[in-house]
Chains A and B, each alone.
Chain A
């Protein structure tokens, strides 16, 4: 489903603080499976997720998503693929403060041009599925940590993407909430979603939901990885 060939990512190229975050990764990710990128801080997990999720372009190498090469696509096409193929759950949640839970969930669908009423209907349905419908009209800053986490999941599912990318999504959750989060991921996998997670939380990479663990170290797949 997702294929990387000798993917490299260098930040601040040509400057004194040049830093190579990804150093030639070859990786293949299967559909309908849960894959965890595991590794210490600075190992390149987040950078790899952003390359796969069409959020950034590799400095060199090639990446295919659903059989289509995305390496050198212009921003507009990259965005198109990103919003239709990927749903993101971020470590920092990244909800927009000051607007309601419902509006936050609806955001990814706005640029697609669907009717407002149908976008709203779908958002409410997702909030209902995640047991957070009663908070639809609450401002996100008034939600508890677990509620906010579920809002980000609902937002990630808004455009019905094939792949859910979660970057250290349990970093701020306690054990109970982490298990609840994993349970939701399990359901999503059962629904046919591909899950790609970055985590160094044992609760996540040792979970039965996870099919495969890829070890990263210093921007590459560790020798003993997978």
Chain B
């Protein structure tokens, strides 16, 4: 065993000197390789964390939302529907919700306006998300103007910012009282935007949804899991979009790496011949080339991963911000909580380190199976 370890150490020692001999080639390879892993790792870390973040935020979301559909379009729902829903066995709570989108011509952005159940706001006062605050340079004590459904203007005073922890979904959010909301959108007391309900046993959700569909045929039921799935799809789509853009670069890298790793120069072939002539076996040469490929790809992989991690979690993915974050004009400013998915890292490893290492071994093997007497000629 000791002899085997010594042998590996000696071969690695030779590999390292060998790498240093071709400094430029290996440095170029290392830099490009690191860059590709960095970009891929950034996308993976970012989309995964964003999905996790979304899932965390939505964990507190109601288990089911009931919306009224008229001619296939979302319509305001009568609050009276709540009586029928509350009578369904298994429904532990049901309440009406008021929310809507508001286009602000000054900032050119859409805000999400919502009536807060928990916030102790008084009439005429609002809480705004940090994106709204940035867009309108509005802070506590400032007044924002809104144009109501009939064209008149109402002024609402900012009483504070919504806490930054939930910036992913609250960046474009404005919280207000029920009265102000109804005044702004012209919605009567009998109507709500949608209804939310909680159930005692989550396994009964689909049964309850079916019952609601029977009782109230003009409604559609949205389960929390469906919202989560939509979030997943949205972020996967965004990640995929970026991957498509990256794939051009990735392809270029594969060609570059393949060429660098698989093409043996005359000098390298001669070197393999010398090694064989002085007593190295084909397997020793392959091991040396294996270590060489592994040193380059593993160090580039590790650096790329670390840089990707720092990029996503320390600089809030500065490079990808415009593509990946938010779907409104107001990109949230927030720091992601680091979530690293081991299986994704493993797939990145197997898609980068393994093929590269194999690419270095095969041509060396082909050169190394030649009889060593070729160097004598």
Q: Give me the interface of A with B, judged by CB distance under 8 Å.
A: 46-47, 49-50, 53, 55-57, 75-76, 79, 82-84, 88, 90-92, 94-99, 103, 106-116, 119, 155, 159, 167
Contact = CB atoms under 8 A, between A and B. Distances in A.
B201 interface: no
B165 interface: no
Contacts of A76: 281, 283
Interface stretch (B119-127, B352-360, B368-376): B368-376
B277 A55 contact: yes
Interface of B: 3-4, 6-7, 9-11, 13-14, 17-18, 20-22, 267, 270-271, 273-284, 371-373, 375-377
B268 to A, nearest CB: 10
A111 B7 contact: yes
7 contacts: A83-B280, A90-B375, A99-B14, A111-B7, A113-B3, A115-B6, A116-B13
A61 B373 CA distance: 19
B279 A83 contact: yes
Contacts of B376: 46, 49-50, 55, 90-91, 167
Contacts of B271: 96
Contacts of A97: 21, 267
Contacts of A88: 277-278
A10 to B, nearest CB: 13
B277 A113 contact: no
Contacts of A110: 7, 10-11, 13-14, 280, 284
Contacts of B273: 94
A117 to B, nearest CB: 10
B17 A119 contact: no
A83 B3 CA distance: 16
Contact of A96 (B274, B276, B279): B274
A84 B278 CA distance: 10
Nearest to A155: B278
Nearest to A115: B6
